[in-house]
Amino acid sequence: MIHEQNIKTYICEELAPDVDPAALPTDVDLLTTGVTDSLSLVRLIAWIGEEYDIPIADMEIAPEDFSSVEKVNAFIERHTVSGVA
């Protein structure tokens, strides 16, 4: 998907530095596996808003939208023009 590598890089560099981006499956549940916690989920959501110019504060969001790299990618594609930001 378009943004998956960028998402994986952010997660592994900023939220889970002990995880290698190449070893992070796009479908793994980031919350239940402990890759992210509630605080890092907030940081991830804030980064998505800034990185992709998505008005997060104006939206209703659910943690499920950010539970895997695939779901984060789908969220970005739904909320950006043509899925490209």
Question: How many separate domains does the chain show?
Answer: 1
- Here the CATH number for the domain that contains residue 78 is 1.10.1200.10
Structure tokens that stand for 55 in this block: 């008005």
Question: Model-level pTM?
Answer: 0.88
**71 lies in which domain range?**
4-83
Predicted local confidence at residue 30, as pLDDT:
95
d(CA 55, CA 27): 25
Structure tokens that stand for 28 in this block: 């793994």
Per-residue pLDDT tens, the chain, 85 aa: give them.
Answer: 689 999 999 999 999 999 999 999 999 999 999 999 989 999 999 999 999 999 998 888 988 999 999 999 999 999 987 545 4
